[in-house]
């Protein structure tokens, strides 16, 4: 039987999403889980959901990684100025943070 790569990717993303949601229920402060979940939302075409998640997280956690994840959400919804602002904030917090360069 031939398995569609797209459906396999969707299934894996679904499992990863469940994993990160569970991780956040155990540790709502987990930056890795928040950023990875935001990335999954982007790949599902739900970047606005990822952005809302990042906005809530950034209220209490202004890190280079979190700002970069927010910037990637803004890029996905084509808000380039906001993306640029968050990439710049990430670099102000850590000028060597490669993902923000």
The string of pLDDT tens digits covering residues 49-72 is 999 999 999 999 999 999 999 999
Name the nearest CA neighbour of 41 among 85, 72, 7. Answer: 72
State the alpha helices, DSSP H only, in 27-94. Answer: 31-43, 47-58, 64-76, 80-93
Tens digits of residue pLDDT in 17-53 = 999 999 999 999 999 999 999 999 999 999 999 999 9
User: pTM score, two decimals?
Assistant: 0.84
Token pair recorded at residue 36: 């990875």
């Amino acid at each position: 039987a031939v398995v569609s790569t797209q459906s396999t990717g969707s299934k894996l993303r679904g499992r990863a999403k469940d994993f990160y949601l569970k991780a956040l229920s155990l540790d709502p402060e987990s930056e890795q889980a928040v950023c990875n979940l935001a990335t999954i939302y982007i790949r599902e075409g739900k970047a606005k959901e990822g952005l809302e998640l990042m906005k809530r997280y950034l209220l209490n956690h202004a890190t280079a990684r979190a700002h970069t994840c927010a910037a990637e959400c803004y890029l996905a919804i084509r808000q380039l100025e906001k993306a640029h602002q968050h990439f710049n904030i990430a670099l102000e917090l850590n000028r060597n943070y490669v993902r923000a360069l």
